[in-house]
Amino acid sequence: MKLKIVSRVAVTLCSAGALLLSACGSSPTPTAAPTGTPAASPTPRIESTAAATPSVDYEAYTEEALSQAVDRAADEASAEVETAADAITQAAADRVVTQDEAAALSALVGAAQAAVDEAFVVLDAYTSMYGDLAEETSAALTSIENDLNELAVGLESMAQSMASIDQTMQQGLALAEDVVSQLESAAQDVSTWLVDLEAQTTAWLAALPIEQAKRAEHALATAPTETVDDRVGAIRLTFAYLDTVKVALADGRVLKVELEAIAEVGASAAAGLKAHGGSELQGLADRIDALTAQFARGELPQARIELDGLERALPTRPGPP
């Protein structure tokens, strides 16, 4: 019964692997992507046959929390891939793979594929929400995606070899040397990409806080572009700022053009409150700066809370001028 299960899993993986391997070719030697350099285009994404995990509401994550989730997912994928690769290397050492070993190896490859798929899911969530602002770390992000894709390619190659081994066993034939060698070679290849993936995620996590601080500093240094003459004008401009933030937060993404608009309107609104808000409203200028900085740092959950509080602190919205 175990052998039949191995056959179904391995053959399914093989059918996908054969097509993907012919398209992707061999793995190039990985190189570190320097921070601040233009990002190379990511390699074509490998679609796995592994079952998808339940979705997570990543919109509730700050950029910092989501980057840490990417790191954890990459670590978990690396651990699963390394376990599968080590087991394959050990099993292939004597050039003989038993039915029990084949069953165990197929299960390990499937678990590794699922872990790599999950890492892709988390990375895609980060890229969708915060990737547009990642100007200085975009090269590292692309390298992380490429490394994960190379791991997926290696896993498909392992699955293809396992399917060939299973078919040979079903027919009662001796294993061909080249099949075992292909399996062993795929296990060795992924080890190279594991090292590069760890290096890229480490470099990315170290650079990200610096980039976030620069974003906030740049946003808060924006000069006002609109002036008002009285308290009503200052309130009206502040509501315009809140409306700009609401639109930016509506889709759960942080775009560069949105941040620039928020910084520009926020600078004008803060200046208007300081000049005409009086003792009641002058302090809200600091809250505008705080909200702008939160958006720039990718602190969307906190920004939503501050947005609501700032709107409640304002008087009734004035009519059009």
Q: For residue 261, is it within any domain?
A: yes
Please answer whether residues 112 and 80 qualify as being in contact, where contact means their C-beta atoms are separated by less than 8 angstroms: yes
Tell me the longest C-alpha to C-alpha distance in the chain. 91
Please report, rounded to a whole number, the percentage of residues in the chain having pLDDT higher than 90: 63
Question: Which pLDDT score, from 0 to 100, does residue 140 have?
Answer: 93
For residues 86 and 155, state if they share a domain.
yes
For residues 123 and 155, state if they share a domain.
yes
Give tens-digit pLDDT for 16-53: 333 223 333 334 444 444 444 444 556 655 554 444 45
Q: For residue 144, is it within any domain?
A: yes
Residue 163 has pLDDT above 60, yes or no: yes
> Average pLDDT in the 97-108 region?
88
For residues 207 and 263, state if they share a domain.
no
Q: For residue 30, is it within any domain?
A: no
Question: Which pLDDT score, from 0 to 100, does residue 101 have?
Answer: 87
For residues 83 and 116, state if they share a domain.
yes
Question: Which pLDDT score, from 0 to 100, does residue 176 have?
Answer: 64
Question: Which pLDDT score, from 0 to 100, does residue 44 have?
Answer: 58
Who wins on pLDDT, 159 or 313? 313
For residues 136 and 86, state if they share a domain.
yes
For residues 248 and 124, state if they share a domain.
no
Q: For residue 44, is it within any domain?
A: no
For residues 265 and 168, state if they share a domain.
no
Question: Which pLDDT score, from 0 to 100, does residue 185 have?
Answer: 86
Q: Which residue type, as a one-letter code, is found at position 85?
A: A
Q: Which domain holds residue 136?
A: 2-20+58-212
Number of domain units in the chain:
2
Please answer whether residues 234 and 228 qualify as being in contact, where contact means their C-beta atoms are separated by less than 8 angstroms: yes
Question: Which pLDDT score, from 0 to 100, does residue 78 have?
Answer: 96
Rounded to 5°, angle at Cα 64 from 31 and 219: 95
Domain of 62, CATH number, reads: 1.20.1420
Q: For residue 176, is it within any domain?
A: yes
For residues 203 and 255, state if they share a domain.
no
Question: Which pLDDT score, from 0 to 100, does residue 7 have?
Answer: 29
For residues 9 and 148, state if they share a domain.
yes
Domain boundary among 212, 232, 267: 212
Six-digit token pair at 69?
């989730």
Question: Which pLDDT score, from 0 to 100, does residue 203 have?
Answer: 95
For residues 10 and 149, state if they share a domain.
yes
For residues 182 and 230, state if they share a domain.
no
Q: For residue 62, is it within any domain?
A: yes
Give tens-digit pLDDT for 173-232: 666 677 778 888 888 889 889 999 999 999 999 999 999 999 999 999 999 999 999 999
The rounded distance, in Å, linking the Cα atoms of 265 and 237 is 8
Q: For residue 51, is it within any domain?
A: no
- What φ, ψ does residue 179 adopt, rounded to 5°? -70, -45
Who wins on pLDDT, 173 or 76? 76
Helix/strand/coil percentages in the chain, nearest 5: 75, 0, 25
Highest mean pLDDT among 99-108, 166-175, 300-309: 300-309
Q: How much is the pTM?
A: 0.80
Residue 12 has pLDDT above 80, yes or no: no
Q: For residue 308, is it within any domain?
A: yes
Question: Which pLDDT score, from 0 to 100, does residue 47 have?
Answer: 53
Domain boundary among 178, 212, 246: 212
Following CA atoms 152, 153, 154, 160 in sequence, which dihedral angle do they give, to the nearest 10 degrees? 110
> Average pLDDT in the 139-144 region?
94
Give tens-digit pLDDT for 51-69: 445 478 888 999 999 999 9
**Measured between alpha carbons, how far is residue 76 from residues 41, 115, 157 in Å?**
25, 7, 20
Question: Which pLDDT score, from 0 to 100, does residue 45 have?
Answer: 55
> Average pLDDT in the 114-133 region?
95
For residues 298 and 156, state if they share a domain.
no
Domain boundary among 212, 233, 261: 212
